[in-house]
């Protein structure tokens, strides 16, 4: 049994879903493990992780619009020092994921056919986002 | 330290919560590990995972109704090629879990008394669902 | 590769966010591992886990109020035997996390600057809450 770690940086350009499945697959391939568990951990509280449909762009647009309505701007938040998109970003992060773990089988991510792994950016003008990856296996 | 993996298939008959705690316990028992971590990963984007109350069926019915209202059908989604229950299924999946990790202690899942592990089916007519299990421990 | 486990108990005094980052850091430090993965698992269905902003108390108050509105009391739940705050507690748990996994790098939690780890209590009069911790690494 051994471990591998990597920080992946994902540049974002405003709110929306940014796929990083290929970066994660590359990390697993380079680590050279056949069987294991990979964990993604996003180091932010105003962006999150999500596994979603990777084929239909319309489904991703519906998903983005849904979260805009579910945790809207201009809802009279007490915390508004960091701009109107900051508090909704924390709420949308709370409703989705900060960590995700995926088994590795036959040296590949055990994803279903339609699953893509996304960073979900909730802010309009965010710094580069960091995702810490951890792999344990052999 | 060693690992074990298994694919569990769960047949579903329409939307709702389907418990698979026993299948997970069986996997842990057969792997013969005393101490470890088990991870469940659902290989779909229109069904999800949830740990919930295992005693009161009324609580599960309330939970199912709540998600039907929170991410309703007929909300004017752009993505509607796959039927009216498809886009709400993706949204309900985003709001719940795709992966769950549970410590193993004294050869048992470290669940609380009232915790059951459920597949949350969001579609009316879904294929058999697959959950990839991974266990690391000794 | 080795493992460590611990149960952390968190006393709560009504609904809200209770930080336990220090207890988790202490567990990692005492286990003496440089590289690994720590998993937190809450053994309840009416309290949950959340990684959120650790600097602005107003952001946490907004977050608490948001979930009070999103899964309100007095919504005509079928399951009401355990008091009016019980069913909303299950719903708020379903919308947030029961397990969280965080990489360990250089003997420290790989958290971002603004991330704190919280127990999210959803009930007014709950027993002491238990979080099962598991660490694998070396």
Q: How far is C16 from chain A (nearest CA, A)?
A: 14
Tell whether A25 lies on the interface with B, counting CB pairs under 8 A: no
Can you tell me the distance from the alpha carbon of B32 to that of A19, in angstroms, rounded to the nearest whole number? 38
Per-residue H/E/C for C60-93: HHHHHHHHHHHCCCCCCCCCCCCCCCHHHHHHHH
Closest chain A residue by Cα to residue C57? A79
Tell whether B101 lies on the interface with A, counting CB pairs under 8 A: yes
One digit per residue, the tens of pLDDT, for chain C of length 138 reads 999 999 999 999 999 999 999 999 999 999 999 999 999 999 999 999 999 999 999 999 999 999 999 999 989 999 998 999 999 999 999 999 999 999 999 999 999 999 999 999 999 999 899 999 999 999
Question: How many CB pairs lie under 8 A apart between chains A and B?
Answer: 83
Residue pair B105/C132 in contact (Cβ under 8 Å)? The answer is: yes
* Residue A42 pLDDT greater than 90, yes or no: yes
Can you tell me the distance from the alpha carbon of B73 to that of B112, in angstroms, rounded to the nearest whole number? 34
* Residue A112 pLDDT greater than 90, yes or no: yes
pLDDT at A62: 98
Q: Mean of the per-residue pLDDT values for chain B?
A: 97
Average pLDDT over residues A39-45: 98
Average pLDDT over residues A32-44: 98
* Residue A127 pLDDT greater than 90, yes or no: no
pLDDT at A78: 96
Closest chain B residue by Cα to residue C130? B112
Q: Helix (H, G, I), strand (E, B), or coil: what is residue A13? A: coil
Q: Is the ipTM value over 0.90, yes or no?
A: yes
Residue pair A89/A47 in contact (Cβ under 8 Å)? The answer is: yes
pLDDT at C81: 87
Q: Give residue-wise pLDDT tens across range B32-77.
A: 999 999 999 999 999 999 999 999 999 999 999 999 999 999 899 9
* Residue A135 pLDDT greater than 90, yes or no: yes
């Amino acid at each position: 049994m051994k471990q591998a770690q990597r920080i992946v940086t994902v540049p974002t350009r405003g709110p929306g879903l940014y796929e990083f499945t290929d970066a994660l697959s590359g990390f697993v391939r380079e680590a050279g493990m056949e069987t294991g568990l990979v964990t993604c951990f996003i180091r932010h509280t105003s962006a999150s992780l999500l596994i979603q449909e990777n084929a239909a762009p319309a489904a991703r647009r519906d998903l983005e619009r849904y979260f805009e309505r579910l945790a809207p701007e201009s809802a009279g938040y007490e915390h508004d020092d960091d701009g109107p998109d900051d508090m909704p970003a924390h709420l949308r992060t709370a409703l989705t994921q900060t960590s995700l773990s995926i088994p590795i089988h036959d040296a590949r991510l055990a994803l279903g056919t339609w699953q893509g792994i996304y960073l979900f950016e909730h802010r309009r003008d965010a710094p580069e986002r960091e995702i810490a990856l951890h792999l344990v296996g052999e």
